[in-house]
Structure 1
Amino acid sequence: MATPSPTTFSQPFNFSKDVRRTTLKTSTIFGPKLKSGEIEHTHLRLLTSFMTGPRLELKASKDPPGLTQQLDNSRLESLAETENVCDFFEDLKHRFLRFKKRKFKENLEHFQNLAQGQAPKFMIIACADSRVCPSNILGFQPGEAFVVRNIANLVPTFESGPSETNAALEFAVNALKVENILVIGHSRCGGIRALMSMQDEEDSSSFIRSWVVVGKNASLITKSAASNLSFDQQCRHCEKESVNHSLSNLLTYPWIEEKVARGELFVHGGYYDFIDCTFEKWTLDYEGGNLEKNSRFAVKNQFYWC
C-alpha cells in the first residue's frame, strides 16, 4: 500500500525562505512599474509585523500625515459621543428606578388596577414641543388623562380623513368614554410660526406644511384681525385662535357633537405661556346645532391661572 505524500501543511515552515519566495512572486503580481526598493520596503514591513505582533496589519505608506490625525480625531469624537449617550441612558435608568421605588411600589394597588384597564376622565390634545408636557404642567397622574401630542396641537376636521389624532379621538370618546377634551396651545409654538409663514406656492410635499395647513383658517382670521401687529404678535394671536379653530373642528365629528349636545362630553381650550408660567382655560358653550364653517362660538368658565 502506497504511503500518501505529506501535504504542504505538514512541511516545516522556514520563515526567511518563504518570505523571499513571496517577494519574488510579488514582483510578478505587482508588475514591472514598481521599483524593487518599494517591493523590498513592503515586505520588510510585512516581516516586521509578523515578528513584532500577533496580527497582520496592512498600512498605507503614502497617506498624508494629516489624514491619520483626522481619523484619530474622528474616532475620539465617536467614542465621546457614545460615552455621552451611555451616560444619558444611565441617567434615565436611575430616573426609572426612582419612579419604581417612590411611586410604583408605594402605590402598588393603584398600578395593579391600571394594569387591568384604563378609565381616564380627560383626553388631552397638546403640542409635541418638548417644553410643553401636560402631565408635568397640570399634574396628571397615570390613568387620569389620555394624551395625544402633535405639531401645533391641531385637530383636523372629520372630513379630512384618517390621522393618528382622529384615531385617538375615536378611541378616547367611543371606547374610553372620556368626559372632557382639552386642547392646549402654548407660547412660541414653532408649528404655528410655520403656519403663519406658509405661502400658497410652497412645495406641498413637505410633511410639516401638509399638517399645519389644518389650521389655515385660524391663520387667515389672525392675519385679518391682527394685520397691524408685528409678526411675533400675530403668531401669539394665532396660537390661541388655532385652539378655538380645533374646538370647532371637534364638533364636525358626529359622535363628538352628539355627546356634547347631550351633556356627556365637554370641550375645553387651554393656553400655556411658559415665559411667565401662566395658564388660560375656557370651555366651549355649545347651544346645539351644527356649527357652520368659520363660525364663531361662545365660551364659558374662562379662567386665568397665574
Structure 2
Amino acid sequence: MEGDNKETLLRNVEPQNHGTKEDNLRGKVWPETKKIETKMAYEDAIAGLQKLLSENSELGEAAATKVRELTAALAAGTEKETFDPDERIRAGFEHFKKENYEKNPDLYGELAKGQSPKFMVFACSDSRVCPSHVLNFQPGEAFMVRNIASMVPPFDQKKYSGMGAAIEYAVIHLKVENILVIGHSCCGGIKGLMSIPDDGTTQSDFIEQWVNICKPAKTKVKSECNNLDFSEQCSHLEKEAVNVSLGNLLTYPFVREAVLNKTLALKGGHYDFVKGSFELWNLDFNISTVSI
C-alpha cells in the first residue's frame, strides 16, 4: 500500500517521463521544472504541492525533496509573471522625488537654470557600472556618454557624428574641465573584441564594427601578453582600450586645443566590480604645437 501511495503522489506532481519509478524516487530521472505542463494557476499548483507535503507523511525523502524544489520553482515563476515594468518605473521615480528632489530644492533650483558640469564621462552601457553610482556623481556634475565598452572613435564627421556632437557640446559649450574614460572588469564588449577572428569575420550587424575602434589596443595586448590566457588578456585589454580612446579624443581639434591650453585634462579609469576597486590614471601625450 505504501508503494502505491508513493506512485500515486508522484503522478500528481511530475510529468510523464521514461525513467523507472525507482530512478524517479532517487532523483536520477526528473525533467526540468520549466517543462512542467499544467492547466492550474501557479498559486493552485503551489498550494497543491504544499498539501502533498503536509498530508502525506509516507512520501519518500527523495520525492519530498523534489516536491519542495517544484514548489520553490513555481513560486519563482510567479514572481517573474507578476513583474510590472511600468510600476517599477513609477515607483522608482516616486522614490527619487521623495528622497532626492524634494529634499534638495536649492540644487534642483540651480539645475533648472542650466548646467555646468566639471566632467565629461565615457562609460560602458553595462548595467553594473553606472558612473553615478560608482563615483557618486550628483545631478549636474557629469555630462555622460555610454556605449558598448565605453569607446571613443576617432574624429569623423560622417561616420561618428553623434559621438562628435556630444564631445563638441561638452568641450565647446559646457566647457568641461575633465574628460574621463572608464573601462571595467568582465566587459562583454572587450571580450567580443578579443574574440574577433584575425580574418575579420563578423557575426553581427554593428557590434564587431564598433568594438574594432580599439583594435590597436587588441594588437598591442596580443603582442605583449601572448603568454597569458584569454581572460587575463581581456583584463589587460580593458585598460589598453581606454588608452586608445584617450588618444582618439586628441583627433578632435577642439579637444586638442583645449588640452594644449591646459583648460582640459584627459583621464583614464578602470572599475573592477569583482574586487571593488577603481584605478585612475593620466597619460602624458607629449603634445606640442608643432604641426606634424
> Where do 5+ consecutive residues of structure 1 fail to align?
1-69, 294-306
> Which residue does 2:167 correspond to in 1?
169
Shift of 1:280: 0.3
- Name the counterpart of 2:194: 196
Correspondent of 1:102 among 78, 99, 120? 99
2:111 maps to which of 95, 110, 114: 114
Q: TM-score, normalised by structure 1?
A: 0.66
Q: Deviations over 1:151-188 (max 9, x none)?
A: 00111001473243222111111111111000000001
- Where do 1:147-296 residues align within 5 Å? 147-159=144-156, 161-199=159-197, 200-203=199-202, 206-289=205-288
Q: Classify 1:244/1:186 alpha carbon distance in 2 versus 1 (closer, same or farther; 3 Å).
A: same
Question: Could you tell me how far apart the structure 1 residues matched to 2:272 and 2:80 are?
Answer: 36
Unpaired runs of 5+ residues, structure 2, are 1-36, 44-73
> Residues 195, 82 of structure 1: CA spacing in aligned structure 2 closer, same or farther, 3 A cutoff?
closer
Identical columns (%) = 49
Tell me which residue corresponds to 1:134: 131
| Aligned-pair CA distance for 1:210 | 1.1
**Structure of higher RCO (CA pairs closer than 8 Å, 6+ residues apart):** 2
Q: Indicate conservation of the 8 Å contact 2:242/2:268, yes or no.
A: yes
Which one-letter code corresponds to 2:186 in the other structure?
Answer: R
SS at match of 2:268: strand
Does the residue aligned with 1:215 lie in a helix, a strand or coil?
Answer: helix
Distance 1:208 1:170, change over 3 A: same
Scaled by the length of structure 2, the TM-score of the pair is 0.69
Secondary structure in structure 1 of the residue aligned to 2:83? helix
Larger radius of gyration: 1
Deviates more, 1:259-268 or 1:163-172: 163-172
Rounded to whole Å, the distance in 2 between the matches of 1:151 and 1:207 is 11
C-alpha contact (below 8 Å) 2:156/2:164 kept by paired residues:
no
Deviations 1:37-86 (A, max 9, x none): xxxxxxxxxxxxxxxxxxxxxxxxxxxxxxxxx89689x99x96995332
Do the aligned residues in 2 keep the contact of 1:266 with 1:284 (CA within 8 Å)? no
Is the contact between residue 135 and residue 141 of structure 1 (CA under 8 Å) also seen in structure 2? Answer: yes
- State the 1:203 CA deviation: 3.1
Are 2:114 and 1:125 aligned?
no
